[in-house]
Every structure is written in structure tokens, then in C-alpha cells.
Amino acid sequence: MDDLTLSARVAPFRDASAFAASVGALNLAQGLPEPLFDEVMNTALARQVTAGWQYADPRGEMILRESIAAHSGPGIAADSEVLVTSGCTESLYLALYAAATEFGNKVAFFEPFYPYYPGLAALLGIEPIPVPFSPGLQGPDWDALEQQVRAGVRILLINTPHNPTGWCMTGEDWQRLVALATTHAFVVIVDEAYGQFEYATHGPARYPRGQLPIMVAGSASKLLSMTGVRIGWLCAPASLIERAHAHHLYLSYCQPKPLQAAVAVLLDELAGGQLDGVRAHYKNKRDCLASALANAGFEFTVPAGGHYLMADYSRLDPSRSPVAFSQHLARCCGVMPLPATPFYLDHCPRSVRFSFSVAKPIVDQACARLEEL
């Protein structure tokens, strides 16, 4: 994959937002979370600047690693199983690198996929192997995935809650992987960027750590509605953290101490229930959007989690391409979705993605416009 392709694969986010602005449409093409905790952050930061601006521990300051371990579930050793990174992107890069040193140079992930996956793999010399979702996008084709494992793929990259469909991995799904792990040695990288946003189960998933190697990439971006704070993390078995850490020394190296300390304060303070309120707020936005889109004639599975709704528009407008339809909707209805094109390697179905990670008044206004379609 050359540099132009690297940029081009993720350019549709920027292009769609620019188009929305150019025609004055409401921008539902990107995740643009409301800054829910900026005041708490700024207060914490004003106190934590006393930590100073000299090198932090490249593994992450212990105070933050302990908060991450506590947030991520029981039994995670803050000293050896947590690495603080520059957002979820560096975490995924390092996870793939570390996984490839032990599990070979092929990675399977479900298609549609987060558009950064093929590029992350390509930059590390890893072959990307997309595995399809079932028709209707209700969930992944597990048989197809198992077939890839039996054929020798040893790294699975699973995004749950899933972007763009909102599918969430269930306990049954995990048991299927645990069973497969009794006969095949593979590692699962979990991209849990939206980990706190599961609407059916009222909370994030618990992973069967100890039954198979699991590496979890997370970040403060969506969890704390601060996409630009660039505090991410990787939780994984110690041997894989060692490998990721070795490469991390040659990338972002460390994150600023005051930011780490402030995010630790927020993780500790918000763990006690405020995140339930955030989840309820997003569920409410999801329900409004889903209702309006159904009334407008879109077909979709209501997302069980995440920040997005993937909708099929072929009944409404069978001829236009996803890009043409998105622009048409922006012009005629004043609502700009993201064409689903970047979520597919080659062929993209007649689908667009609507974000409900925007302020509630924007969701409401978009719904009113869509109801008039």
C-alpha cells in the first residue's frame, strides 16, 4: 500500500465533512463527541501540572496504569500488563507489531472494518484478510473466520462495539473463540475504542482472559469524550506488552505526565456511575436517529453499541453510489452521512453511516429533516 493509498483510504472522513460544510448540511459523517468532561479535565490538569514536563515513564505513569487496570477489569497487573500510548491508533499499531512477532504476518478482521486497519497492517508488513459480516450486517460470519484460522491466520483483530455497524461481541461469541483456541494457537486484538458504549448489556464486555491470549486497545478519546487528548492504552499478557513497549520507545516514547495524571483522575472519578449517564445519553440519541431513519425508509439493524448506525438506502434510491447518495442527501435533506466506501476493501454495498456522536440538538434537527424525506 503506497502513501497515496494510506491517505486516500481515510480521506473520506475529511471529504464528507468538507462537503457537509460546503452545502450547509448537518454533519453526521464523523464522530464529533460533545465535550462532556472538559471542565473536569481542565480542573484536574491545573492541579497536575505540578508533575512537570520532563520525561514520563515510557510504560505510562504508574498512577494512570493503575487507573486503567482498575477500569479494564479484575486481574490486570498494572506493572507488567499495561502500556500507555498516544491514543488507540498507536496502541493498535503496537499491538499488531507485537502480535506479528509471535503469531505471524496475517491478520483477519471483519468487513466492513474501521478504515485504518488495512493501512496499519500494510505499514507493518502484515497481510490484511477481511472476513465478511453476514448479509444484513447482523453479525460476523464466524464460520468464515474459523476457516481462516484453520488455514493459518493467527491474529484476529476484533472491533467491539463495532464501527460502523454497532454490533457487539456476545459471551457466546467469545466462547466460540475459546473453543477454537483449544485446537489452534491464535491471539485476539480487541479494539475497544467504543468499549463503554454497549446499550443492551448496560456496560462494557468482560473478556475471557487466561483462556486465550487477548490484547485490548482502548483510549480516553471516546470514553471521556476527548478525542484529541491522545491518551490510549494496551492491556495484554506481559510478554506481548514487552514487545509493544520495545517499539513504543521508538515512536511516541511517552505521554506528558500532567495529561496522564489528569486522565487518571477522570478515570477514577467517572468510574463511579457518571459513565452510565453518558451511555444513557448516547442510547437516547441512537433511538431518535433509528426511529427517524426507519420512518424515512432506510433499512438497518439497530446498533447494539458504539456511536454509529449503518443504513441501507437501496429501497429509497437504488441507483446512486454511496458517495453520490450521501451528497444527494446532504443537498436535498440537509443531513450528511458518511458513504460506506472506506469500510470495504473493494465492493461497497448501497450503505451509508450516520453518526450519533454529535450534540443532541444536532441529532434532533437531523431527525426532523429525515422525517420529512
Strands 82-85 and 232-235: antiparallel
Closest CA to 363 of 300, 279, 281: 281
Q: Binding a second copy by CB under 8 A: which of 80, 105, 170, 252?
A: 252
DSSP at 134: P
Q: Binding a second copy by CB under 8 A: which of 15, 141, 146, 242?
A: 242
Binding mask 10-49 toward a second copy (x if CB under 8 A, else -) reads: x---------------------xx-x--x--xx--xx--x
Find the shortest distance in angstroms from Cβ 36 to a second copy: 11
Q: Does 253 bind a second copy (CB under 8 A)?
A: yes
**In what order do the strands lie in the sheet containing 351-355?**
308-312, 351-355, 338-339
Give the separation between CA 122 and CA 67, rounded to whole angstroms: 33
Binding mask 276-315 toward a second copy (x if CB under 8 A, else -) reads: ----------------------------------------
Give the separation between CA 91 and CA 351, rounded to whole angstroms: 29
> Amino acid identity, residue 322?
P
Task: Select the span of 158-166, 175-183, 238-246, 354-362 touching a second copy (CB under 8 A).
Answer: 238-246
Q: Binding a second copy by CB under 8 A: which of 178, 251, 332, 359?
A: 251
HSE-CB at 213 with a 13 A cutoff on CA atoms is: 21
Cell of 44: 484536574
- Within 109-148, the residues that bind a second copy by CB under 8 A are 116, 119-120, 123, 125
Cell of 175: 466462547
Q: Is 168 helix (H, G, I), strand (E, B) or coil?
A: coil
Binding site for a second copy (CB under 8 A): 2-4, 6-7, 10, 32-33, 35, 38, 41-42, 45-46, 49, 52-56, 86-87, 89-90, 93, 101, 116, 119-120, 123, 125, 226-230, 242-243, 245-247, 249-257, 259
